[in-house]
């Protein structure tokens, strides 16, 4: 089970928090702070696993994180998850964000946290991994966006106007800021898992009955 997924930047500002266990808002903030404290003081080239987040349930749990440019992606998981698998999941998540936002940067996450939530919802549900195939995730997200659009533009005049307004707003202030923030520049991290694509042949398996 995944207990929590946190994204925060190099200064500990939360960009997304998703808890699959109930914590009060105060505790959530405390967890984010503590996690940031643990993660941020680690060097770049140490391992991506951390034991002993004190706030999120006991010794069974681990923090698995990745650091991309300005953002930390932290998953808190228990022992039923494969450590390397989760690392890959983070990679899939970031790549999916990259695809959905077209060259994602921190600002995308800042201004569209709801969209990030929606993307995450297609990957992880209730703390369990739902889908790992990026194409499938993107397909579903696109379909939902299409549905949303059809409601907004055709069926629902009111929302149409609001969308327009939104777009005008986005074109304003953030556009200047974008240049200031560098892209996450997805590094080519060797993938541990070839999700779905590679078929593993299990040779010489004794047939069983």
Partner 1 sequence: MALKMVKGSIDRMFDKNLQDLVRGIRNHKEDEAKYISQCIDEIKQELKQDNIAVKANAVCKLTYLQMLGYDISWAAFNIIEVMSASKFTFKRIGYLAASQCFHEGTDVIMLTTNQIRKDLSSPNQYDTGVALTGLSCFVTPDLARDLANDIMTLMSHTKPYIRKKAVLIMYKVFLKYPESLRPAFPRLKEKLEDPDPGVQSAAVNVICELARRNPKNYLSLAPLFFKLMTSSTNNWVLIKIIKLFGALTPLEPRLGKKLIEPLTNLIHSTSAMSLLYECVNTVIAVLISLSSGMPNHSASIQLCVQKLRILIEDSDQNLKYLGLLAMSKILKTHPKSVQSHKDLILQCLDDKDESIRLRALDLLYGMVSKKNLMEIVKKLMIHVDKAEGTTYRDELLTKIIDICSQSNYQYITNFEWYISILVELTRLEGTRHGHLIAAQMLDVAIRVKAIRKFAVSQMAMLLDNAHLIASNTQRNGICEVLYAAAWICGEFSEHLEEANQTLEAMLRPKVTTLPGHIQAVYVQNMVKLYASILQQKEQAGEKEAAQEITQLMIERLPQFVQSADLEVQERASCILQLIKYIQKLQIKEVPVAEEVIALFAGELNPVAPKAQKKVPVPEGLDLDAWINEPPSDSESEDEKPKTIFHDEEQRHSRHRQPEIDEEELARRREARKQEQANNPFYIKSSPSPQKRYQDTPGVEHIPVVQIDLSVPLKVPGMPMSDQYVKLEEERRHKQKLEKDKKKKKQKKEKRGKHHRHNSLQTESEEDIAPAHRVDIITEEMPENALPSDEDDKDPNDPYKALDIDLDKPLADSEKLPVQRHRNVEALKSPDSEAPLVEKKSKKPKKKEKKHKDKEREKDKGKKKEKEKKGEDLDFWLSTAPPPASSTQPQGEPETSAAVVAEPQEVKKEEREEQEEEEDDEGKKSSKHKKKKHKKEKEEKSKDKKKSKKKSHQNKEETAESVQNGTLEDEPLPPMSSYRLLAENPYIKMTYDIQGNLQHDSQVTVSVIFENKSSSFLKSMELNVLDSLNTKMLRPEGSSVHDGIPVPFQLPPGISNEAQFVFTLQSIVMAQKLKGTLSFIVKNDEGSTHDKLDFKLHFSCASYLITTPCYSDAFAKLLESGDLHMSSIKVDGISISFQHLLAKICFHHHFSVVERVDSCASMYSRSIQGHHVCLLVKKGENSISIDGKCNDSTLLSNLLDEMKETLSKC
Alpha helices, H only, the chain? 25-40, 83-101, 106-111, 113-123, 134-149, 157-171, 173-178
Nearest distance, CB of residue 160 and partner 1, angstroms: 10
Nearest distance, CB of residue 50 and partner 1, angstroms: 6
Of the candidates 133, 118, 125, 137, which has an alpha carbon nearest to the alpha carbon of residue 2?
Answer: 125
Q: Name which of 179 and 201 has its Cβ closer to partner 1.
A: 201
Bridge partners of residue 76, in order along the sequence: 4, 63
Nearest distance, CB of residue 165 and partner 1, angstroms: 6
Q: Name which of 31 and 184 has its Cβ closer to partner 1.
A: 31
**Strand 49-51 to strand 14-19: parallel, antiparallel, or no bridges (unpaired)?**
unpaired
Residue 50: in which H helix or E strand, if any? strand 49-51
Residue 39 near residue 62, CB atoms below 8 Å: no
Q: For residues 42 and 115, what is the distance between their CA atoms, to the nearest angstrom?
A: 30
Q: Name which of 151 and 182 has its Cβ closer to partner 1.
A: 151
DSSP for residue 81: S
Nearest distance, CB of residue 58 and partner 1, angstroms: 11
Q: Name which of 152 and 184 has its Cβ closer to partner 1.
A: 152
Nearest distance, CB of residue 188 and partner 1, angstroms: 14
């Amino acid at each position: 089970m995944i207990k929590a997924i946190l994204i925060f930047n190099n200064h500990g500002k939360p960009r997304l928090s998703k808890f699959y266990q109930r914590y009060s808002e105060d505790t959530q903030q405390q967890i984010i702070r503590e996690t940031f404290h643990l993660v941020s003081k680690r060097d770049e080239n140490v391992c991506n696993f951390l034991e002993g987040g004190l706030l999120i349930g006991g010794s069974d749990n681990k923090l698995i994180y990745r650091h991309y440019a300005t953002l930390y992606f932290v998953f808190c998981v228990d022992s039923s998850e494969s450590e390397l698998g989760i690392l890959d999941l983070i990679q899939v998540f970031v790549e999916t964000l990259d695809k959905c936002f077209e060259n994602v940067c921190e600002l995308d996450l800042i201004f569209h946290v709801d969209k990030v939530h929606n993307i995450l919802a297609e990957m992880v549900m209730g703390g369990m991994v739902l889908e790992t195939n990026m194409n499938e995730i993107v397909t579903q997200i696109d379909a939902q966006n299409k549905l949303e659009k059809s409601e907004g533009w055709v069926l629902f005049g009111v929302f149409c106007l609001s969308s327009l307004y939104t777009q005008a707003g986005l074109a304003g202030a953030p556009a200047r800021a974008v240049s200031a923030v560098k892209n996450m520049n997805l590094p080519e991290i060797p993938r541990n898992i070839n999700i779905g694509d590679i078929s593993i042949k299990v040779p010489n398996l004794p047939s069983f009955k």
